Structure 1
Amino acid sequence: MIGTLLGRIATSPWMRAALRFGAIVLAVLLFLLALRRTGERAGRLAERLKTTEKANDVQRQMLEAAARRPRDRDELAERLRDGRF
């Protein structure tokens, strides 16, 4: 019963065209959904990269400040007297 129904559908030129059109529409829809998912993933990765760059910049600034700090109390006192601190 089902085999004969499918056989009749497959032999009708209009139904074959409709099935072909449906397959093309489905393929395009799946492609667009995959493209959207890829774009979302790329956006998340770009945001993560930006956050990492900010954190690295802050850490670099902290290391530079630590490198410029006075080594001991005498150097601190000397900087305070000279007004260089």
Structure 2
Amino acid sequence: MIGELLAALAGSAWARTALRYVVTALAILLFLLALRRAGERAGRLAEQLETTERSHNAQKRMLEAAARRPRDRSDLADRLHNGRF
């Protein structure tokens, strides 16, 4: 019974045209959903990159500060005495 109905609908020109529009609309909908998902993923990756860059910059500043630190107590005393600290 369903097979006969499908065969009758497939035989008519308006049913083929309607089916063509439905398939086209479905393809466009799936494309838009995939595009949205790709955009969300790109946004997450950009946020992750920004976080990584911030972390890297903080670590770089800490390493630079550690490189400029006084080596021992006498070096610290010399810097404080000379006003360079």
Verify: 1:80 aligned to 2:80, yes or no. yes
Shift of 1:71: 0.1
| Moved segments of 4+, more than 6 Å | none
Report the residue type matching 1:60 in the other structure.
Answer: K
Q: Deviations over 1:34-76 (max 9, x none)?
A: 0000000000000000000000000000000000000000000
Letter paired with 1:43: G
Partner residue of 2:34? 34
Q: Which whole-Å CA distance do the structure 2 matches of 1:40 and 1:2 have between them?
A: 42
Instruction: Measure, in 1, the Cα distance between the counterparts of 2:3 and 2:52.
Output: 60
1:34 alignment partner AA? A
Does residue 6 of structure 1 match 2:14?
Answer: no
Aligned residues: percent identity?
A: 66
Q: Secondary structure at the match of 2:32?
A: helix
Aligned residues: 85
1:16 — aligned with what?
16
- RMSD of Structure 2 on Structure 1 (CA): 0.4
Shift of residue 84 of structure 1? 0.2
Separation in structure 2 between the aligned mates of residue 2 and residue 54 of structure 1, nearest angstrom? 62
Residue type of the alignment partner of 1:52? T
- CA drift of 1:3 comes to 1.1
Which residue in 2 is equivalent to 1:53?
53
Q: Give the TM-score normalised by the residue count of structure 2.
A: 0.99
CA positional deviation for 1:2: 1.1
Q: Which runs of 5+ in 2 are unaligned?
A: none
